[in-house]
Amino acid sequence: MLTWGVVFAIAVGVYGQRVIGMMALDPARLGPRAQSVLSHIPIAILSAVIGLQTFSRGGTLELDARVWGVGAAIVCASRKLPMFVTVLIGAIATALARAIA
């Protein structure tokens, strides 16, 4: 099972590879579509890892309090609330879901 330290290491690695790739390539040679794809790769990988951490435990699907927390954070992020507020509301939603269950 992945830990948040591993998630952070993966994020740094993915972003580092992107930076190195962009430094090695001349961005002007890339088309706008390729630049757009490259800019979305790190967030796609992080989203996949977070999804895996949220919806699984031990290789099986598990829907528990974490889903409520991530759902609340998604709503906050879609409303463009500050990051601190988003994380705080996600944590509170997770805590409340665990207290109720």
pLDDT digits (tens, 9 = 90+) for 11-36: 888 888 877 877 776 767 778 888 88
Are 13 and 25 in a shared domain?
yes
Are 69 and 52 in a shared domain?
no
Number of domains into which the chain is organized: 2
Global pTM reads: 0.57
- Look at the alpha carbons of 35, 39, 44, 49 in this order and tell me if their dihedral is positive or negative: positive
Are 14 and 50 in a shared domain?
yes
The continuous run of DSSP H or E covering 3 comes out as none
Domain that holds residue 89: 63-101
Are 53 and 10 in a shared domain?
yes
Are 74 and 55 in a shared domain?
no
Are 47 and 9 in a shared domain?
yes
Are 43 and 69 in a shared domain?
no
